[in-house]
Amino acid sequence: MKRRTVMTVAAVAALAAALLVPTGASGAATSGGTPVNVRRVIGYSVQHRPIVAYELGNPRARTTAVLLGQMHGNEHAGVVLARSLVHGSRSIEGINLWVVPTMNPDGNVANTRQNAHHVDLNRNWRDIWRPLTGIYYSGPYPLSEPETRAMRRFLLAIKPHYIVSLHQPLHGVDTTDGGALDHAFRNRLARNLGLPLKPFRCWSVCHGSMTGWYTTHRYGIADTIEFGWHPTTGYLTGRAAHGIVAALGGYFGSLAAHNPRSALRVRLVPSEDAAHLAGWAFDRDAIGRHVQFAASMDGVEVKSGRAALPSPGLDDAYGVTGDHGFAFDVPVEPGQHTFCLTFGNLGAGTADPSRCVTTA
């Protein structure tokens, strides 16, 4: 029988904390890992820990979504899921997906529901705010907390069509807020994740919640997913992660598809005892940078450089702006020769691809 790995609360907390070490710079994509278009610090916690958002997928996609892994610091399953998307081994395609592993890094480290001011961040938004006390302390006034203000600024800046907020331990997909507006979306989430549909009403009314605020203003669809206390690692990083991406209209792709794209043409110029090599190369994960190349003739390197010449045809064919062309001459003797160019991978691809042309 296949053993089932169950994550205890402590184990999930330890893993989530380890995964929260910020990596990479804005606009960087990790070679061999999930392409990250942008890594953005959207604000800081009470104890000045960064709140980081990662843009994955296609920035030009019709659907923009935000996945929030954690709001309550003692609910760590969503952090594990979110970080598995950011640091995965496949690309996300078809959607523009922003992933915020946690908006409560202080609570995550302390393993407390509230932030360092002892405020429940899901009671601190303006929608139906009330002065609550105890573990649901809503703060001295709406948006009193730096974490809530940072998340609000971020959401208003990108205006996602969908927000998926991950929580524990009520085991279900919410039918209120965004779930009440978009039945098809909530049903896809429930079906894909194998969770029941439930109304999460906080015993009567959820005061000051993020999904309530976003729904009330009709900015888009914001829904809550509640895992149980003990989801398995495999479930979080497998079925749950895949199910959320699919419900949003996305899918997982191959990292090999993120290798640099290129074209090579070789024209012999007998009157000059030369070969003219021309073409283009670009890396979709680093479209603002120039791909490096190394050129060889019959296995011997003859030139290296960058694809940085004008390449107007790429705009129409691939929607790529900027200069990504190359052209140069190589002295040749009469006879057959094989010319190869190897292009350096700048992003999440798995190899440095080559193109070769043999002339008679």
Residue 79 pLDDT: 98
* pLDDT at residue 37 is higher than 80: yes
- Say what percent of the chain tops pLDDT 70: 91
Map residue 203 onto helix, strand or coil: helix
Residue 64 identity: T
Range with lowest mean pLDDT among 24-28, 126-130, 166-170, 202-206: 24-28
Residue 32 pLDDT: 55
Residue 113 pLDDT: 97
- Distance separating alpha carbons of residues 175 and 339, to the nearest angstrom: 61
* pLDDT at residue 72 is higher than 90: yes
Say which residue, 271 or 106, is predicted with more confidence: 106
* pLDDT at residue 25 is higher than 70: no
Count the neighbouring beta carbons within 10 Å of the beta carbon of residue 230.
14
Task: State the DSSP code for 255.
Answer: G
Residue 170 pLDDT: 96
Map residue 39 onto helix, strand or coil: strand
Mean pLDDT value of segment 331-355: 91
* pLDDT at residue 11 is higher than 70: no
Scanning 42-104, the segments in alpha helix (DSSP H) are 77-86
- Distance separating alpha carbons of residues 32 and 195, to the nearest angstrom: 33
Average pLDDT over the chain, rounded to whole? 89
Mean pLDDT value of segment 62-86: 97
Q: What is the pLDDT of residues 133-179, one digit of tens each?
A: 999 999 999 999 999 999 999 999 999 999 999 999 999 999 999 99
Q: What is the pLDDT of residues 220-247, one digit of tens each?
A: 999 999 999 999 999 999 999 999 999 9
Sketch out the chain's domains with CATH numbers.
Answer: 9-253 (3.40.630.10), 256-359 (2.60.40.10)
Token digits of residue 106:
């202080």
Say which residue, 106 or 24, is predicted with more confidence: 106
Mean pLDDT value of segment 109-117: 98
Residue 14 pLDDT: 44
Residue 23 pLDDT: 35
Residue 192 pLDDT: 98
Task: Name the pLDDT band for 4 (thresholds 50, 70, 90).
Answer: very low
> Please, are residues 131 and 119 in contact by the beta-carbon 8 Å criterion?
no
Which phi and psi (to 5°) does residue 246 adopt?
Answer: -65, -40
> Please, are residues 281 and 307 in contact by the beta-carbon 8 Å criterion?
yes
- Distance separating alpha carbons of residues 353 and 293, to the nearest angstrom: 10
With a CB cutoff of 8 Å and minimum separation 6, the contacts of 232 are: 4, 5, 6, 7
